[in-house]
Amino acid sequence: MDENDLNSDHVNSDTTVDDDDADCYYDFFIKGDDPMDPEDAKSHQGSGQKYTILNQADMRKRQEDVIAEVSTVLSVSGATATILLRHFNWSVGNVHEAWFADEDDVRKRVGLLDYDKQLSDVNAGDRASCGICFDVYPRDRIFSVGCGHPFCRECWGGYIRSAINNGPGCLTLRCPDPSCSAAADRDVIDMLALSDDDKKKYSQYLLRSYVEENKKIKWCPGPDCEYAVEFDGGGGGEDSWDVSCLCYYSFCWNCLEDSHRPVDCQTVSSWLSKNTDESETKIWILARTKPCPRCQKSIEKNGGCMHMTCNPPCRYEFCWICLGDWYNHGTCNRYNEAADVEADKNREDAEKYVTKYTHYYDRWAANHSSRQKAIADMQRVQSMQIRRLIETQGKAGYELLFITDAWEQIIGCRQVLKWTYAYGYYLPENEHTKRRLFEFLQGEAEKGLERLHECAELELNQFLVDYGRPSEGFREFEVKLKGLTMVTRKYFEKLVRALENGLSEVQVSGSEEIGQNIPMTSAEG
Amino acid sequence: MANSNLPRRIIKETQRLLSEPAPGISASPSEDNMRYFNVMILGPAQSPYEGGVFKLELFLSEEYPMAAPKVRFLTKIYHPNIDKLGRICLDILKDKWSPALQIRTVLLSIQALLSAPNPDDPLSENIAKHWKTNETEAVETAKEWTRLYATGA
Ligand SMILES: [Zn+2]
Ligand SMILES: [Zn+2]
Ligand SMILES: [Zn+2]
Ligand SMILES: [Zn+2]
Ligand SMILES: [Zn+2]
Ligand SMILES: [Zn+2]
């Protein structure tokens, strides 16, 4: 089966998903939307990609390019160009501007000596005494950076090493003489450093400086990631800042938090600072354990999906979020303001705020930890379950890619769903129609995702047992999981777009109708 | 013993410190450790420390001269850039250190710091505050401490 087959499979399976209401929940999204196109759905960094992932070699190349440019235009050595660029935050324009406005001033600021003065060695003669170790050396063992202050090769080496070990300050290294500002450039380092290791560290600092002071490039904040990302587009508005690094970490290039569509960076920062204001640990415990609604025993959430089963002998199955019975359970994302108003009649406003906040925080946090769990699960799936399935189902590895696909989708959707709770928290309470539409869409998203998550997490297990032959149901499972993956992907994409548009279709139709019609549409489907 | 392979630089610096001491400063290596110096600085004239004899210790680590010497006051002193433990806030002892500086330059700088306290870059918040809000009174305290701790005995 090649890539195309996999895709057409997706499309076909669409009609075979057991529960077809998945299909109709995009009907009421923005009209005139693109027809379904699995290609475009698959890649979040397709043709519209506005960023470039840079590895160390790419960064070095870019750095060398700007150095070469400045070096050519100003007729200075590459090492001198490097000093100038570093001083002016790697902006070629700023170097040129300052240099041509007042070359002498720039030279003075960065410690570049005038060529005329360079010959005025203090100690003329065959031998000179090193200003650090005080030993006397023949001229050819003594170096100065054009200023004439003599230091021996070994002392230069030690001086350079200690500067490098002290950190990025080594990039502005000057002559060891405290009264002298002559710069020791990278040619000096190359010539006098004690070891290749020192040279390597120096060039690493140089590269870091290039990335960190460059306005268009940022390091990927992913753990242990060494890639940097150059962002070319404007971002904001319709364009997202979302970046997906080669290390699989996806983040917002603008604020460097985890990807947070559909909410903007400002909302993320308010939400996150609100969260740290609340007692963090207390809230996390709250988010991880709850009493079983039947037996009251505390039960810790360990699975990724919201379908909880209490420990034996109780075995009560309930929804983690609303604690409702799992089987008589519709949606539970809706914040029931009316009920709260009733209950809160005599309470303080502050308490209302806490109630509301806790509602959204609980769900935000639940999706957050569910996502963390899913990431761990996916690793386990990739390392163990797939291998197991190859044995038990007699499949080739590439035939099982749909499972990884599903998990990646779950992880991505958990992220979106998580941030929709921050979205909901900040959605004005007086915009009733919008709130209703939002809560409906979010509820459907949640249901759809739960279905996918449960299928990937629980239904897969039965196929891990080895009966000596492929299981009969496996093909069905495959079709179902693929279908759910695609349906969920499409749904979430549209959800994100709709929320990013501020649910503008509410304004367009200008009435309560949409909000009222939606549940009907769903029921019909 | 650490003294056996003492770098020539340290030997030369020591010889010069002993043979041509800077005015108001004496520094001599300890007998059992040539990297450890007993230092005395006379309180500079026209400073609140005038008339006082201040004892310091100075140690040259293995990294010296790539790293600055470690210096601290042993005599109690009331000064905004010197804390209770005698530690000194002086740029050349930290980021402005250069291996082309020497023990002599360090001690001269410390002497200069006694002449010109800098409450804007304090090590001791309380003393610096005192200095800035009521310099006359702070100077009096410094004189008092000098009399109490840095004279006689
Ligand atoms: Zn030397
Ligand atoms: Zn120099
Ligand atoms: Zn990365
Ligand atoms: Zn952001
Ligand atoms: Zn129970
Ligand atoms: Zn529920």
CA B26 vs CA A131, B29, B68: distances in Å? 23, 10, 19
Q: Is the ipTM of this complex over 0.95?
A: no
Has residue A73 got a pLDDT over 60?
A: yes
Amino acid at site A204 = Q
pLDDT at A14: 39
Q: Of A46 and A60, which is predicted with more confidence?
A: A60
Instruction: Name the nearest CA neighbour of A293 among A318, A311, A271, A263.
Output: A318
pLDDT at A349: 53
Least CB-CB distance to A162: which of B7, B9, B63? Answer: B63
Maximum mean pLDDT: which of A325-334, A335-344, B12-21: B12-21
* Contact criterion met (CB < 8 Å) for B66 and A161: yes
* Contact criterion met (CB < 8 Å) for A178 and B9: no
List of chain A residues whose C-beta atoms are within 8 Å of the C-beta of residue B104: none
Mean pLDDT along residues A358-363: 88
Q: How confident is the model at residue A105 (pLDDT cuts 50, 70, 90)?
A: very high
pLDDT at A297: 77
List of chain A residues whose C-beta atoms are within 8 Å of the C-beta of residue B105: 178
Return the residue in A129, A130, A132, A164 with the most chain B beta carbons within 10 A, the one to mutate for interface testing.
A132
**Which of A278-287, A331-340, A446-455 is predicted least confidently?**
A278-287
Amino acid at site B104 = R
Q: Which residues of B are catalytic?
A: 89
Sign of the four-CA dihedral A134, A135, A136, A137: negative
Return the residue in A122, A130, A134, A172 with the most chain B beta carbons within 10 A, the one to mutate for interface testing.
A134
**Which of A122-126, A189-193, A474-478, B133-137 is predicted least confidently?**
A122-126
- Say how many Å lie between the CA of residue A226 and the centre of ligand 3: 6
Tell the CATH topology of A3-45+348-523: Four Helix Bundle (Hemerythrin (Met), subunit A) (1.20.120)
What does the alpha-carbon distance between residue A426 and residue A509 come to, in Å, rounded to a whole number?
23
pLDDT at A304: 64
- Residue A293's H or E segment, with its range, is none
Has residue A346 got a pLDDT over 50?
A: no
Q: Calculate what percentage of chain A has a pLDDT beyond 90.
A: 45
Q: Which of A130, A155, A305, A413 is catalytic?
A: A305
Mean pLDDT along residues A175-181: 91
- Residue A272's H or E segment, with its range, is helix A265-277
* Contact criterion met (CB < 8 Å) for A151 and B100: yes
Task: State the nearest Cα–Cα gap between A178 and chain B, in angstroms.
Answer: 6
Neighbours of B9 (CB within 10 A): 19
- Residue A336's H or E segment, with its range, is none
Has residue B47 got a pLDDT over 80?
A: yes
Return the residue in B12, B92, B98 with the most chain A beta carbons within 10 A, the one to mutate for interface testing.
B98
* Contact criterion met (CB < 8 Å) for A133 and B63: no
Three-class secondary structure assignment of A470-508: CCCCHHHHHHHHHHHHHHHHHHHHHHHHHHHCCCCHHHH
**Which of A61-75, A253-267, A344-358 is predicted least confidently?**
A344-358
Q: For the CA atoms of chain B, what is the radius of gyration?
A: 16
Show the tokens assigned to A165.
């070990």
Tell me if B80 sits within 8 A of B90, measured CB to CB.
no
Mean pLDDT along residues B122-139: 88
Least CB-CB distance to A155: which of B12, B92, B99? Answer: B99
Show the tokens assigned to A195.
């070891």
The pLDDT tens digits for A163-176 are 999 889 999 999 99
Please name the residue that has the structure tokens 């994100």. Answer: A496
Tell me if B103 sits within 8 A of B68, measured CB to CB.
no
Q: Calculate what percentage of chain A has a pLDDT beyond 70.
A: 75
Is B63 in the A-facing interface, judged by CB distances under 8 Å? yes
* Contact criterion met (CB < 8 Å) for B98 and A176: yes
SS3 content of chain A, % helix, strand, coil (to 5): 55, 10, 35
Domains of chain B and CATH, by start = 8-150 (3.10.110.10)
* Contact criterion met (CB < 8 Å) for A149 and B100: yes
Tell the CATH topology of A54-212: Herpes Virus-1 (3.30.40)
Show the tokens assigned to A124.
């003329």
pLDDT at A506: 61
- Residue A228's H or E segment, with its range, is strand A228-231
Instruction: Name the nearest CA neighbour of A372 among A307, A303, A455.
Output: A303
- A160's CB contacts (< 8 A; 6+ apart) are A170, A173, A184, A188, A189, A192, A193, A194, A198, A202
The pLDDT tens digits for B85-110 are 999 988 899 888 999 999 999 999 99
- Say how many Å lie between the CA of residue A165 and the centre of ligand 3: 26
Looking only at the bridges linking them, the beta strands covering A317-319 and A51-54 are: unpaired
Q: How confident is the model at residue A521 (pLDDT cuts 50, 70, 90)?
A: very low
- Say how many Å lie between the CA of residue A211 and the centre of ligand 3: 14
pLDDT at A250: 86
A207 CB burial (10 A radius; 0-12, 13-18, 19+): middle
Using an 8 Å CB-CB cutoff, list residues of chain A that contact chain B.
131-135, 149, 151, 155, 158-159, 161-162, 169, 176-178
What does the alpha-carbon distance between residue B75 and residue B149 come to, in Å, rounded to a whole number?
7
Show the tokens assigned to B127.
């003393």
Show the tokens assigned to A357.
């906040």
pLDDT at A191: 94
The pLDDT tens digits for A434-489 are 999 999 999 999 999 999 999 998 888 888 877 777 778 899 999 999 999 999 99
**Which of A57-61, A158-162, A367-371, A462-466 is predicted least confidently?**
A462-466
Is B9 in the A-facing interface, judged by CB distances under 8 Å? yes
* Contact criterion met (CB < 8 Å) for B8 and A134: yes
Task: State the nearest Cα–Cα gap between B47 and chain A, in angstroms.
Answer: 27
Strand partners, B88: B82
Q: Of A463 and B57, which is predicted with more confidence?
A: B57
Tell me if B58 sits within 8 A of B40, measured CB to CB.
no
Has residue B113 got a pLDDT over 70?
A: yes
List of chain A residues whose C-beta atoms are within 8 Å of the C-beta of residue B8: 133-135
- Look over chain A and give the mean of its residue pLDDT values, rounded to a whole number: 79
What does the alpha-carbon distance between residue B7 and residue A133 come to, in Å, rounded to a whole number?
8
Least CB-CB distance to A133: which of B9, B95, B101? Answer: B9
pLDDT at A352: 63
Is B98 in the A-facing interface, judged by CB distances under 8 Å? yes
Q: How confident is the model at residue A385 (pLDDT cuts 50, 70, 90)?
A: confident
Tell me if A485 sits within 8 A of A405, measured CB to CB.
yes
Has residue A26 got a pLDDT over 60?
A: no
- Say how many Å lie between the CA of residue A482 and the centre of ligand 4: 31
Mean pLDDT along residues A239-256: 86
Query: Which residues numbered 13-32 in B keep a CB inside 8 Å of some CB on A?
Result: 13
Has residue A274 got a pLDDT over 60?
A: yes
Let me know how long chain A is. Answer: 525
Strand partners, B69: none
* Contact criterion met (CB < 8 Å) for A135 and B101: no
Amino acid at site A447 = K
Q: Calculate what percentage of chain B has a pLDDT beyond 70.
A: 96
List of chain A residues whose C-beta atoms are within 8 Å of the C-beta of residue B9: 132-135
Amino acid at site A483 = G
Maximum mean pLDDT: which of A86-95, A245-254, A294-303: A86-95
Has residue A120 got a pLDDT over 50?
A: no
Neighbours of A231 (CB within 10 A): 17
Has residue A95 got a pLDDT over 60?
A: yes
Is B108 in the A-facing interface, judged by CB distances under 8 Å? no
Interchain CB contacts (distance < 8 Å): A and B: 38
Phi, then psi, of A38 in degrees rounded to 5: -60, -30
The pLDDT tens digits for A144-165 are 998 889 999 999 999 999 999 9
Instruction: End-to-end CA distance of chain A: give it in Å, rounded.
Output: 33
Has residue B17 got a pLDDT over 80?
A: yes
What does the alpha-carbon distance between residue B122 and residue B124 come to, in Å, rounded to a whole number?
5
Tell me if A420 sits within 8 A of A500, measured CB to CB.
no
Least CB-CB distance to B100: which of A161, A169, A177? Answer: A177
Task: State the nearest Cα–Cα gap between A159 and chain B, in angstroms.
Answer: 6
Q: How confident is the model at residue A351 (pLDDT cuts 50, 70, 90)?
A: low
- Say how many Å lie between the CA of residue A418 and the centre of ligand 3: 22
* Contact criterion met (CB < 8 Å) for A178 and B100: yes
pLDDT at A316: 85
* Contact criterion met (CB < 8 Å) for B66 and A162: yes
Has residue A204 got a pLDDT over 90?
A: yes
Ligand nearest the Cα atom of residue A153: 1
Please name the residue that has the structure tokens 């100690």. Answer: A123
CA A256 vs CA A198, A242, A295: distances in Å? 31, 9, 43
Q: For the CA atoms of chain A, what is the radius of gyration?
A: 31
- Say how many Å lie between the CA of residue A88 and the centre of ligand 2: 23
- The verdict on whether A130 is a catalytic residue reads no
Cα-based torsion angle of the residue sequence A18, A34, A330, A319 in order, rounded to the nearest 10 degrees = 90
Show the tokens assigned to B75.
């005599």
- Say how many Å lie between the CA of residue A336 and the centre of ligand 4: 29
Query: Which residues numbered 38-57 in B keep a CB inside 8 Å of some CB on A?
Result: none
